[in-house]
Amino acid sequence: MKKKIMVVDDNRMILKFLSNLLEGEGHEVKTCEDGLSALSLLTTFEPDIVFVDLIIPKIGGDKLCQIIRTMEHMKNCYLVIISAAVAEMDLDFRKIGVNACIAKGPFGQMGKHVLAAIKDSSDPSKLISEQEILGIASVSGIPVYARRMTKELLGRNRHLETILESMNEGIVEVYTGRVVYANSAAVKLFAVPLENLLSAKPQELFEDAFKSRIDVLMNRGSEKMPVVGLTRPLELNGRQIVIRSFPVKAEADTTILLMTDVTDQRDLEYQLQHVRRMDAIGSLAGGIAHNFNNLLMGIQGNVSILIQDKKMGDPGYDELAGIERCIDSGAKLTRQLLSFAKGGSYSLGLEDVNDIVEKSSSMFARTRKEIHVEQHLEEDLVMAEADAAQIELALMDLYVNAWHAMSNGGTLTVSTANTILEDSFVKPYNLTPGRYLRIDVADTGAGIDEKTVERIFEPFYTTRPMGQGTGLGLASVFGIIKKHKGIITVDSQVGRGTTFSIYLPAARILQIPKEKEKLRVISSGKLPEKGSGTILVVDDEEYILNADRAMLNELGYEVLLANGGKEALRVFDENKDRIDLLILDLIMPDMSGEIVYDRIKSLRPDVRVILSSGYSIEGQAESILKKGCDGFIQKPYNLNQLAQKIKEILVRE
């Protein structure tokens, strides 16, 4: 019975021999010299029998057999391996769906086995049995050195294939615009079966938006572009890819593509850029807060003098009190800015975070009846070195944010858990991996879109209507957590709610903190008794010097003023024997407060010094306090606060 037969071999002598043999038997024969040509032929030709050499270019024989077995119109095809290296190859032919296997040898012997295979093809369901290789005896006539060389070459090929298969980068060989080889990493990136990948055009494997860039990469006739996606990675099945092309010497039609998945790298770069941007914004916010506090100080000082002799009901009292309330509101805003920038004034202690979470969320639940609050607290939560008041402030801001997201009511879930953070997670934040505790604040609100998530911790950024939000709440939370050497992340999708996750490092000493004494709040009522002595005020702002002088004169002190650090050294040198106290600004253009402090202390070690700044106590102020400075007062301060601080320092032994 006449058969349709396809023979695939890169040896033209073998092709000629088998063509003559089979056509002489009355069969229709088609030949191909490589795997890619064979696949192309199979789109128009449906053979009954296929003879395939194992070692052929442009898609190997074993891969070609696997692909043929996946083709619906070829499922009844009788598949025969015919190869000279069949005895040296460590390959289970049954796994690639082969019906028979013939070892190449003398033409007469090989021809008999080919005809026998055609005769057996009447039963296409028959598969090769283990070690059943027709003509294997004829291989014994091949010289030992030739067989050994074949085995060594095949072994070397397996070594190279093992290396390629173990690489993280995708390796793709393209011949005449078609894929003829792809390693496991490439198959994974394309997310298509190998049989569908081979013989495909690379452009067809990408979305339309990226096809033109692949065209340029593959167009060897034009100006060479050896890489695409370096600055703008290509998108492939949700991953970001960079592709480099490498020409093959002496093979103008062949190109090797190296595909690198840079998704994780780009994510890390984005996180680092985000951290740097937040640091830059933090520095800007801190500078704004400092300057704003200085302005408030000038106003507060003058208002304190004007309101001092007035009583409720006196003309002008209500107006001055209103100004003081505005100053207080402004000071609260700058404290939030400073919390974002460098952290506010912190008092770290060993804290039970479960207790903070439970109390804060319970208090919030009592004030927002329309919100259902759930608590899921880890029973053996590790302790944290934290400022309880600041952590509570951060949590309350998150609760309020969740409340705004659930305008029609919903569920707020607050949970805690112990966790271990790996180096890959903490590296973008320059923190140490290890034991952390996690606080999750989740709501069932409207959710947040991706663009908003990217800017959510920036100061002054708000999605609420004009006049209904300052945009400082979440920025303040970010600053508080950062100051605690922690991390805050947000996970949200529109329509699915939002979860803020706070990670705080576990305390090194895991013990329950002792009950702390309640801080005694000093009343701002009656003015303390007037003092005496000489105070030198050092600042680079004229209006602050004038405000301090007015308040200090009201308190009974003799006042010396110095505009800047250099003038301070001169005034102090001229009056060092009668100066009892310095009120020293930290940030001055001509000479920093720290340098002034060091020089004055070298002239007179016993003089008392109060640092004054629009910045918070952290940073430079903290450094000077460690040197033995007597105290710190943050601008803006009123008459009562100044009087109390001076009394506290001067009466100290």
Q: Where are the domains of the chain?
A: 4-145, 167-261, 270-335+530-653, 349-505
Report CA-CA distances (Å) from 632 to 176, 458, 576.
76, 29, 21
pLDDT digits (tens, 9 = 90+) for 569-596: 999 999 989 999 999 998 888 898 899 9
Q: Average pLDDT over the chain, rounded to whole?
A: 82
Query: What pLDDT was estimated at residue 95?
Result: 77
Average pLDDT over residues 43-69: 90
Does the pLDDT at position 296 exceed 60? Answer: yes
Query: What pLDDT was estimated at residue 175?
Result: 87
- Nearest residue to 583 (alpha-carbon basis) of 537, 542, 617: 537
Q: What architecture is the 270-335+530-653 domain classified under in CATH?
A: 3-Layer(aba) Sandwich (3.40)
CA-angle at 347, arms to 342 and 348, nearest 5°: 95
Average pLDDT over residues 210-226: 71
**324-359 as b/e, with b when 16 or more CB fall inside 10 Å?**
eeebeebbeebbbbbbbbbbbbbeeebbbbbebbee
pLDDT digits (tens, 9 = 90+) for 405-435: 887 889 999 999 999 999 989 988 889 999 9
Does the pLDDT at position 510 exceed 70? Answer: no
Percent of the chain surpassing pLDDT 70: 84
Q: Return the CATH fold of 349-505.
A: Heat Shock Protein 90 (3.30.565)
Query: What pLDDT was estimated at residue 491?
Result: 92
Query: What pLDDT was estimated at residue 579?
Result: 94
Q: Return the CATH fold of 4-145.
A: Rossmann fold (3.40.50)
For residue 93, give the 3-state DSSP assignment: helix
- 611 phi/psi in degrees, rounded to 5: -80, 140
Query: What pLDDT was estimated at residue 486?
Result: 94
DSSP label of 91:
-
Q: What architecture is the 167-261 domain classified under in CATH?
A: 2-Layer Sandwich (3.30)
The residues pairing with 227 across neighbouring beta strands, listed in sequence order, are 244
* CA gap 223, 221 in Å, rounded: 7
Query: What pLDDT was estimated at residue 328?
Result: 80
Could you tell me which residue, 88 or 447, shows the higher pLDDT? Answer: 447
Does the pLDDT at position 512 exceed 70? Answer: no
Average pLDDT over residues 526-534: 75
Does the pLDDT at position 543 exceed 70? Answer: yes
Residue 144 binned pLDDT confidence (cut-offs 50, 70, 90): very low
Does the pLDDT at position 21 exceed 90? Answer: yes
pLDDT digits (tens, 9 = 90+) for 621-651: 788 888 889 888 888 888 888 998 898 888 7
Q: Which of 81-85, 196-200, 340-344, 410-414 has the lowest mean pLDDT?
A: 340-344
Could you tell me which residue, 377 or 211, shows the higher pLDDT? Answer: 377
Average pLDDT over residues 158-164: 75
Query: What pLDDT was estimated at residue 154?
Result: 58
Does the pLDDT at position 251 exceed 80? Answer: no
Residue 618 binned pLDDT confidence (cut-offs 50, 70, 90): low
Does the pLDDT at position 515 exceed 80? Answer: no
Q: Is 331 left (phi over 0), alpha (psi -120 to 50) or beta?
A: alpha
Q: Helices (DSSP H) in 121-260: which residue ranges?
A: 144-166, 184-190, 194-197, 208-218
Residue 128 binned pLDDT confidence (cut-offs 50, 70, 90): low
Query: What pLDDT was estimated at residue 366?
Result: 79
pLDDT digits (tens, 9 = 90+) for 453-494: 887 787 655 655 434 444 456 887 888 898 899 999 999 888
Sign of the C-alpha dihedral computed for residues 38, 40, 45 and 48 taken in this order:
positive
For residue 493, give the 3-state DSSP assignment: coil
Tokens of 566: 């250099």
Query: What pLDDT was estimated at residue 141?
Result: 52
Q: Among the ranges 116-130, 212-226, 383-397, which has the highest mean pLDDT value?
A: 383-397
Does the pLDDT at position 75 exceed 70? Answer: yes
- On whether the pTM is more than 0.75, the answer is no
Average pLDDT over residues 200-210: 88
Burial (CB count <10 Å: 0-12, 13-18, 19+), residue 602: exposed
Does the pLDDT at position 153 exceed 90? Answer: no
Average pLDDT over residues 85-91: 64
Query: What pLDDT was estimated at residue 120?
Result: 86
Neighbours of 203 (CB within 10 A): 16
> Quick check: do 4-145 and 270-335+530-653 share a fold?
yes
Query: What pLDDT was estimated at residue 89?
Result: 63
Average pLDDT over residues 320-335: 80
Does the pLDDT at position 558 exceed 90? Answer: yes
Query: What pLDDT was estimated at residue 346?
Result: 55
Average pLDDT over residues 125-152: 55
